[in-house]
Amino acid sequence: MQTTWKSFSSLDEAISGTRGNTQLSFGLVRENLFVGESVEWAATAAVNDFGDWQDGSVVLTDQRIFAAYADPSLQQTYGNMVERVPAPRISEYQGGGDLATFAIEGLPIQSIALDPQHLDQLRELLSATDAPQMGNAVFGAVSEDPVEILSKLKKMLDAELISQEEYDAKKAEVLSRM
Protein backbone atom coordinates (compact mmCIF):
# COMPACT_ATOMS: atom_id res chain seq x y z
CA MET A 1 0.00 0.00 0.00
CA GLN A 2 0.99 3.66 -0.49
CA THR A 3 3.88 4.80 1.69
CA THR A 4 4.36 8.33 0.37
CA TRP A 5 1.27 10.54 0.67
CA LYS A 6 1.23 13.56 -1.63
CA SER A 7 -1.27 16.06 -2.93
CA PHE A 8 -1.08 17.99 -6.20
CA SER A 9 -2.76 20.94 -7.87
CA SER A 10 -2.72 19.47 -11.40
CA LEU A 11 -2.72 16.08 -13.11
CA ASP A 12 0.53 16.87 -14.94
CA GLU A 13 2.17 17.51 -11.57
CA ALA A 14 0.62 14.31 -10.17
CA ILE A 15 1.75 12.17 -13.10
CA SER A 16 5.29 13.53 -13.04
CA GLY A 17 5.44 13.29 -9.21
CA THR A 18 4.44 9.63 -8.92
CA ARG A 19 5.50 6.24 -10.24
CA GLY A 20 4.12 2.82 -11.00
CA ASN A 21 0.49 2.01 -10.26
CA THR A 22 -0.26 5.41 -8.75
CA GLN A 23 1.03 7.12 -11.89
CA LEU A 24 -1.14 4.80 -14.01
CA SER A 25 -4.22 5.70 -11.95
CA PHE A 26 -3.65 9.44 -12.51
CA GLY A 27 -3.22 8.71 -16.23
CA LEU A 28 -6.58 6.92 -16.32
CA VAL A 29 -8.28 9.96 -14.81
CA ARG A 30 -6.61 12.25 -17.37
CA GLU A 31 -7.89 10.02 -20.20
CA ASN A 32 -11.46 10.36 -18.90
CA LEU A 33 -11.69 14.12 -18.38
CA PHE A 34 -14.29 16.04 -20.36
CA VAL A 35 -13.12 18.80 -22.68
CA GLY A 36 -12.88 21.91 -20.51
CA GLU A 37 -13.01 19.99 -17.22
CA SER A 38 -10.31 21.27 -14.89
CA VAL A 39 -8.52 19.52 -12.06
CA GLU A 40 -8.55 21.40 -8.78
CA TRP A 41 -6.85 18.89 -6.49
CA ALA A 42 -5.36 15.40 -6.64
CA ALA A 43 -3.80 13.09 -4.06
CA THR A 44 -2.19 9.69 -3.84
CA ALA A 45 -4.45 7.19 -2.13
CA ALA A 46 -4.95 3.57 -1.31
CA VAL A 47 -8.13 2.19 -2.84
CA ASN A 48 -9.95 -0.92 -1.57
CA ASP A 49 -12.14 -2.52 -4.18
CA PHE A 50 -13.25 -6.14 -3.86
CA GLY A 51 -11.30 -6.56 -0.61
CA ASP A 52 -7.80 -5.76 -1.90
CA TRP A 53 -5.93 -2.53 -1.22
CA GLN A 54 -4.20 -1.02 -4.26
CA ASP A 55 -2.11 2.11 -4.82
CA GLY A 56 -4.25 4.72 -6.52
CA SER A 57 -5.49 8.28 -6.58
CA VAL A 58 -8.33 10.63 -5.73
CA VAL A 59 -8.90 13.56 -8.09
CA LEU A 60 -11.31 16.47 -7.64
CA THR A 61 -12.28 18.40 -10.76
CA ASP A 62 -14.67 21.29 -11.19
CA GLN A 63 -17.33 18.70 -12.17
CA ARG A 64 -16.54 15.29 -10.64
CA ILE A 65 -14.62 13.29 -8.06
CA PHE A 66 -12.57 10.36 -9.33
CA ALA A 67 -11.06 7.42 -7.49
CA ALA A 68 -8.74 5.25 -9.57
CA TYR A 69 -6.29 2.43 -8.98
CA ALA A 70 -4.15 -0.06 -10.87
CA ASP A 71 -4.32 -3.76 -10.05
CA PRO A 72 -0.87 -5.20 -10.75
CA SER A 73 -2.06 -8.82 -10.59
CA LEU A 74 -4.55 -8.22 -13.41
CA GLN A 75 -2.44 -5.56 -15.15
CA GLN A 76 -5.54 -3.37 -15.36
CA THR A 77 -6.38 0.17 -14.30
CA TYR A 78 -9.82 0.88 -12.85
CA GLY A 79 -11.63 4.07 -12.01
CA ASN A 80 -14.98 5.37 -10.87
CA MET A 81 -16.40 8.85 -10.55
CA VAL A 82 -19.30 10.70 -9.01
CA GLU A 83 -20.69 14.14 -9.82
CA ARG A 84 -19.37 16.92 -7.60
CA VAL A 85 -22.60 18.94 -7.28
CA PRO A 86 -24.36 18.46 -5.01
CA ALA A 87 -21.27 17.64 -2.98
CA PRO A 88 -21.33 13.94 -2.07
CA ARG A 89 -21.21 12.89 1.55
CA ILE A 90 -17.94 11.44 2.85
CA SER A 91 -18.39 8.61 5.35
CA GLU A 92 -15.39 8.14 7.61
CA TYR A 93 -14.80 4.60 8.81
CA GLN A 94 -11.76 5.29 10.93
CA GLY A 95 -9.57 8.24 11.61
CA GLY A 96 -6.40 9.04 13.39
CA GLY A 97 -2.97 7.58 12.95
CA ASP A 98 -1.39 7.89 9.56
CA LEU A 99 -4.50 6.94 7.55
CA ALA A 100 -8.08 8.08 7.30
CA THR A 101 -10.27 5.43 5.68
CA PHE A 102 -13.55 6.60 4.16
CA ALA A 103 -16.11 6.15 1.40
CA ILE A 104 -17.65 8.72 -0.92
CA GLU A 105 -21.41 8.46 -1.35
CA GLY A 106 -22.29 7.30 -4.84
CA LEU A 107 -18.79 6.06 -5.65
CA PRO A 108 -18.87 2.29 -6.17
CA ILE A 109 -15.59 1.59 -4.41
CA GLN A 110 -15.53 -0.08 -0.99
CA SER A 111 -13.18 2.38 0.68
CA ILE A 112 -10.37 4.84 0.15
CA ALA A 113 -7.49 5.71 2.45
CA LEU A 114 -5.74 9.07 2.51
CA ASP A 115 -3.39 10.87 4.79
CA PRO A 116 -5.75 12.54 7.34
CA GLN A 117 -4.52 15.98 6.24
CA HIS A 118 -5.48 15.20 2.64
CA LEU A 119 -8.92 14.00 3.71
CA ASP A 120 -9.36 17.33 5.51
CA GLN A 121 -8.30 19.14 2.30
CA LEU A 122 -10.82 17.13 0.26
CA ARG A 123 -13.62 17.87 2.72
CA GLU A 124 -12.74 21.57 2.74
CA LEU A 125 -12.75 21.74 -1.06
CA LEU A 126 -16.09 19.94 -1.24
CA SER A 127 -17.67 22.15 1.39
CA ALA A 128 -16.52 25.19 -0.59
CA THR A 129 -18.31 23.91 -3.71
CA ASP A 130 -20.24 26.86 -5.01
CA ALA A 131 -24.00 26.79 -4.79
CA PRO A 132 -25.33 25.70 -8.15
CA GLN A 133 -25.89 28.32 -10.78
CA MET A 134 -29.07 28.28 -12.86
CA GLY A 135 -28.41 26.77 -16.25
CA ASN A 136 -25.43 24.60 -15.26
CA ALA A 137 -25.14 20.89 -16.02
CA VAL A 138 -26.61 19.86 -12.68
CA PHE A 139 -29.76 21.95 -12.83
CA GLY A 140 -30.24 21.69 -16.58
CA ALA A 141 -31.35 24.50 -18.81
CA VAL A 142 -32.39 27.90 -17.46
CA SER A 143 -35.98 27.02 -18.31
CA GLU A 144 -36.10 24.28 -15.64
CA ASP A 145 -39.08 24.34 -13.31
CA PRO A 146 -38.48 26.88 -10.49
CA VAL A 147 -40.23 24.59 -7.97
CA GLU A 148 -37.75 21.82 -8.80
CA ILE A 149 -34.80 24.19 -8.47
CA LEU A 150 -36.06 25.48 -5.11
CA SER A 151 -36.60 21.92 -3.93
CA LYS A 152 -33.01 21.00 -4.85
CA LEU A 153 -31.68 24.09 -3.13
CA LYS A 154 -33.66 23.25 0.03
CA LYS A 155 -32.24 19.71 0.03
CA MET A 156 -28.74 21.17 -0.27
CA LEU A 157 -29.44 23.53 2.62
CA ASP A 158 -30.82 20.72 4.78
CA ALA A 159 -27.73 18.60 4.00
CA GLU A 160 -25.58 21.61 5.00
CA LEU A 161 -23.98 21.74 1.55
CA ILE A 162 -24.83 25.43 1.24
CA SER A 163 -25.27 28.11 3.88
CA GLN A 164 -28.56 29.83 4.75
CA GLU A 165 -27.22 33.00 3.07
CA GLU A 166 -26.42 31.11 -0.16
CA TYR A 167 -29.85 29.48 -0.08
CA ASP A 168 -31.62 32.82 0.45
CA ALA A 169 -29.65 34.45 -2.39
CA LYS A 170 -30.37 31.62 -4.86
CA LYS A 171 -34.02 31.48 -3.79
CA ALA A 172 -34.39 35.20 -4.45
CA GLU A 173 -32.70 34.77 -7.83
CA VAL A 174 -35.04 31.92 -8.83
CA LEU A 175 -38.14 33.79 -7.67
CA SER A 176 -37.10 36.96 -9.50
CA ARG A 177 -37.05 35.00 -12.79
CA MET A 178 -40.64 33.77 -12.45
| pLDDT per residue as tens, the chain (178 positions) | 545 789 998 999 999 988 888 899 999 999 999 888 999 999 999 888 777 788 899 999 988 999 998 887 777 888 888 888 777 888 876 655 678 888 888 887 778 888 888 888 888 888 876 444 433 333 333 346 778 778 888 887 887 777 888 888 888 877 877 6
- Where does residue 123 rank: exposed (0-12), middle (13-18), buried (19+ CB within 10 A)? middle
9 three-state secondary structure: coil
Q: What sign does the dihedral 25-45-78-35 (CA atoms) show? A: negative
Give pLDDT, residue 143. 41
Listed as own residue / partner, the contacts of 170-177 with beta carbons closer than 8 Å and 24 or more positions apart are: 170/131, 170/132, 173/134, 174/134, 174/146, 174/149, 174/150, 175/146, 177/134, 177/142, 177/146
Nearest by Cα to 55 from 36, 81, 28, 84: 28
pLDDT tens per residue across span 36-82: 899 999 999 988 877 778 889 999 998 899 999 888 777 788 888 88
Give me the chain's average pLDDT, please.
Answer: 80
pLDDT at 133: 40
Stated length of the chain: 178
Domains of the chain, start order: 7-127 (2.30.29.30), 132-178 (no CATH)
pLDDT score of 26: 92
d(CA 138, CA 105): 17
